[in-house]
């Protein structure tokens, strides 16, 4: 049976889970599929194009229809879906972070977030900016989360910083203890809630600030 593009992506995902992003090469992928390298290049002109397709497959489902709940809860759902999708694959966050090609699943997920934000009262340009900010929060948090999974079980930030000749304040020490000891999901939810609460506050104060000329947001500048 001829090699299909979807088969290549699925095998790339399998290798990604088994060996990690740094070990995923076109040569290994071809060997795993038992095909010559040229067969892969009929579907993907280079590794970057392959990773674009892999990244888009990873985020499949993020933009699925949302339940009929409040817009803050819908944003929480989209953000949590994205985090779960990235965590579902080894180095998933790094793969998605390294691509920018808008595949179908990527577009659907972004469109879903923008629609929710527009229903919340944001102009489309604002909604685009905010959705990008939330996307990169989720991406950054998940990259860090997956990096921490590679640390040894007895990892202690105090041991790692002993040779830096830097005096650490008690406040910073307490902050690092919290960051390294807390449940990653709890940290994630806390950060996402800050975004959502900030948006709620923006919606409350924006009319007053715009009237005073204090706010100029994309698509909603003073006088728009």
What pLDDT does residue 148 have? 83
User: In angstroms, how far is the first alpha carbon of the chain from the final one?
Assistant: 58
User: For the chain, which domains are there?
Assistant: 5-45 (1.10.10.60), 59-150+182-212 (1.10.357.10)
What pLDDT does residue 204 have? 65
What pLDDT does residue 91 have? 97
Helix (H, G, I), strand (E, B) or coil at 132: helix
Helix (H, G, I), strand (E, B) or coil at 162: helix
pLDDT in tens, the chain (224 residues): 688 999 999 999 999 999 999 999 999 999 999 998 688 999 999 999 999 999 999 999 999 999 999 999 999 999 999 999 999 999 999 999 998 878 999 999 999 999 999 999 999 999 999 999 999 999 999 999 998 887 766 666 666 666 666 787 889 888 888 877 788 999 999 999 999 999 988 876 444 344 444 334 444 433 33
Alpha helices in the chain (DSSP H): 5-19, 26-33, 37-41, 47-58, 71-87, 92-97, 104-119, 124-148, 157-160, 170-181, 184-212
Q: Could you give the C-alpha distances from 86 to 24, 56, 68, 108, 196, in angstroms and in order?
A: 17, 11, 25, 16, 21
Nearest to 65 by CA among 114, 127, 109: 109
HSE-up (13 A, CA, CB side) for residue 65? 2
Q: Which residues, listed in sequence order, are joined to residue 220 by a DSSP beta bridge?
A: 217
Q: Measure the CA–CA gap between 29 and 41, rounded to whole angstroms.
A: 11
What pLDDT does residue 224 have? 38
What pLDDT does residue 201 have? 87
């Amino acid at each position: 049976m001829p090699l299909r593009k979807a088969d290549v992506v699925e095998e790339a995902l399998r290798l990604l889970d088994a060996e990690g992003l740094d070990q995923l090469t076109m040569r290994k992928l071809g060997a795993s599929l038992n095909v010559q390298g040229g067969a892969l290049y009929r579907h993907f002109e280079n590794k970057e194009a392959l990773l674009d397709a892999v990244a888009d497959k990873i985020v499949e489902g993020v933009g699925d229809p949302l339940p009929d709940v409040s817009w803050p809860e819908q944003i929480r759902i989209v953000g949590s879906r994205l985090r779960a999708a990235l965590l579902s694959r080894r180095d998933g966050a790094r793969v998605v972070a390294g691509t920018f090609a808008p595949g179908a699943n990527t577009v659907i997920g972004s469109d879903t977030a923008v629609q929710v934000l527009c229903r919340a009262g944001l102009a489309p340009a604002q909604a685009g900016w905010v959705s990008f900010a939330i996307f990169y929060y989720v991406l950054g948090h998940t990259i860090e989360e997956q990096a921490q999974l590679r640390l040894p079980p007895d990892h202690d930030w105090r041991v790692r910083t002993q040779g830096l000749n830097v005096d650490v304040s008690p406040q910073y020490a307490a902050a690092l203890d919290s960051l390294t000891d807390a449940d990653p999901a709890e940290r994630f939810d806390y950060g996402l809630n800050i975004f959502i609460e900030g948006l709620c506050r923006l919606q409350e104060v924006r009319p007053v600030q715009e009237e005073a000329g204090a706010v100029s947001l994309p698509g909603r500048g003073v006088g728009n």
